[in-house]
């Protein structure tokens, strides 16, 4: 290998040719992650090689094993970043729609008010971290971490196309729903750990509401799985290449949509956070950054709900009437996703 040019270190090889490539098909986020590391790691290797020609560290930084390791890490970050931007857009959409319904502009900071969400997020992170003395601190913190973690993990597992995914599991739809359904148990734990009667009452109410709507969602999901004959998300989407499942299962679609709105605790199913009766719901003793992360987790759950609707009933990333895929299937998925999030 030559040592006189950076192009000998930053090569942008085909990721599928990597000996440690973990997927059977092309994965776009992995490709982005691999190229990011080849740019960063290759530049570092080139600089080190300029100082110490022929060293082993430079070769190791651009080896297949290290490129694969950092490609996986960066792939997850890319998928999370995409989901995070969609979440910010959901918050912006909701506040704009509610503002118009109240005859006001809604958010106003930044282009069309889009940066208001970033400003509010920064504000919550700058608030003081207050923890009451009487809480059960282990459950108080662990429940918070698990509520947010499972919501983010479930959202990251929603594929935007057959090339934008973390793993193509044979039972992918069930794994997403299993992560999605853990929240009521963590909410009960968090409400109990706060040692606050208002939080406890609200926790029971929130968990009861969520569980009561998860049961019909699972039954409706089973109907789609039976029609498809597979738990695999790609198989479910490909089965709708000629006709969306929303057509033969129109009642199931509307029922699933209503359950998804209730599961996300959006209006008119936001009783779990009725301030006049329950203070701030089960989140009463979670303030500042903790409250902001819980709210972000709620929107991630809404992201999962909208993603499931698009996958199960609206053909995912495929064009309808047998036209198949497009050059940018992720955009097709998000364009179908947007009306669901606006309605929610």
Contacting residues for 56 by C-beta, under 8 A, at least 6 apart: none
Please determine, for residue 313, whether its predicted confidence score (pLDDT) is greater than 90. Answer: yes
> Does residue 3 surpass a pLDDT of 50?
no
CB 194 within 8 A of CB 143: no
pLDDT at 344 over 70: no
The pLDDT of residue 70 is 94
Count CA atoms within 13 Å of residue 265 on its CB side. Answer: 26
Residue 89 has pLDDT above 70, yes or no: yes
Which percentage of the chain shows pLDDT scores above 70? 93
Residue 309: pLDDT band by 50, 70, 90 thresholds? very high
**Is residue 8 a contact partner of residue 42, using CB atoms and an 8 Å limit?**
no
What does the pLDDT read at residue 106?
Answer: 78
* Nearest-angstrom CA–CA distance, 332 and 312: 15
Residue 2 pLDDT class (50, 70, 90 cuts): very low
Mean pLDDT on 114-125 = 85
- Tell me the angle at which helices 250-263 and 329-343 cross, rounded to the nearest 10 degrees: 70
pLDDT at position 287 is 82
279 CB-side CA count, 13 A? 15
* Residues 160, 329 contacting (CB under 8 angstroms): yes
CB 305 within 8 A of CB 337: no
User: Could you write out the DSSP letters of every residue in 262-327?
Assistant: HHTT-TTS-GGG-HHHHEEEETTT--THHHHHHHHHHHHHHHHHHHHHHHHHS-TTSBTTTTB--S
Crossing angle (nearest 10°) for helices 64-101 and 28-51:
130
Cα 194 from Cα 26, distance rounded (Å): 46
Q: Using the predicted structure, report yes or no on whether residue 188 has a pLDDT greater than 50.
A: yes
* pLDDT greater than 80 at residue 205: yes
pLDDT at position 263 is 81
Q: What are the CA-CA distances from residue 301 to residues 76, 78, 256, 260 (Å)?
A: 18, 19, 15, 9
pLDDT band at residue 87 under the 50/70/90 scheme: confident
Domain spans in the chain, listed from the N-terminal domain onward? 6-78, 131-343
- Could you give the 3-state DSSP secondary structure of residue 161? strand
Give the predicted TM-score (pTM) of the model.
0.87
Between residues 7 and 42, which one has the greater pLDDT? 42
pLDDT tens per residue across span 263-283 = 877 777 766 665 555 566 788
- Cβ contact 218:177 at 8 Å: yes
pLDDT score of 233 more than 60: yes
Inform me whether the pLDDT recorded for 208 exceeds 60. Answer: yes
Query: Is residue 217 pLDDT above 70, yes or no?
Result: yes
The rounded percent of the chain whose pLDDT value lies above 90 is 28
pLDDT for the residue 1: 47
Average pLDDT, the chain: 85
Mean pLDDT (whole number) for 301-322: 87
DSSP string for 163-203: TB-S---TTHHHHHHHHHTTHHHHHHHHHHHTT-HHHHHHH
More confident position, 339 or 204: 204
- Specify the long-range contacts of residues 35-40, CB closer than 8 Å, at least 24 apart: 36/74, 37/66, 37/67, 37/70, 37/71, 37/74, 38/10, 38/11, 38/12, 38/13, 38/62, 38/67, 39/10, 39/12
Q: What is the pLDDT of residues 19-52, one digit of tens each?
A: 899 998 899 999 999 999 999 999 999 898 888 8
């Amino acid at each position: 290998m030559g040592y006189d040019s950076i192009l000998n270190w930053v090569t942008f090889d085909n990721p599928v040719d990597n000996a440690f490539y973990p997927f059977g098909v092309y994965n776009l986020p992995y490709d982005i992650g691999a190229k990011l590391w080849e740019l960063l790691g290759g530049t570092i290797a080139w600089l080190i090689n300029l100082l110490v020609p022929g060293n082993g560290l430079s070769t190791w930084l651009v080896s297949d094993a290290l490129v694969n390791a950092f490609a996986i890490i960066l792939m997850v970050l890319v998928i999370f970043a995409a989901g995070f931007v969609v979440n910010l857009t959901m918050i912006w959409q909701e506040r704009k729609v509610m503002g118009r319904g109240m005859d006001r502009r809604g958010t106003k900071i930044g282009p069309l008010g889009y940066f208001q969400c970033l400003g509010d997020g920064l504000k919550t992170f700058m608030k003081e971290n207050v923890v009451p003395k009487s809480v059960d601190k282990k459950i108080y913190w662990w429940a918070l971490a698990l509520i947010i973690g499972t919501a983010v993990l479930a959202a990251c597992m929603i594929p935007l196309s057959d090339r934008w995914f973390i793993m193509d599991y044979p039972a992918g739809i069930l794994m997403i729903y299993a992560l999605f359904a853990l929240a009521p148990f963590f909410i009960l734990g968090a409400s109990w750990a706060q040692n606050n009667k208002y939080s406890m009452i609200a926790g029971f109410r929130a968990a009861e509401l969520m569980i009561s709507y998860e049961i019909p969602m699972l039954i409706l999901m089973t109907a789609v799985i039976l029609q498809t004959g597979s738990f695999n998300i790609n198989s479910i989407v490909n089965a709708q290449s000629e006709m969306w499942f929303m057509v033969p299962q129109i009642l199931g679609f509307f029922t699933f949509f209503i359950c998804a709105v209730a599961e996300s605790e959006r209006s008119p199913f936001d009783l779990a956070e009725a301030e006049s009766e329950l203070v701030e719901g089960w989140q009463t003793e979670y303030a500042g950054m903790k409250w902001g992360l819980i709210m972000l987790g709620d929107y991630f759950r809404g992201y999962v709900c909208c993603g499931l609707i698009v996958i199960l009933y609206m053909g995912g990333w495929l064009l309808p009437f047998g036209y198949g895929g497009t050059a940018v299937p992720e955009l097709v998925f998000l364009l179908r996703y947007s009306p669901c999030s606006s309605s929610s």
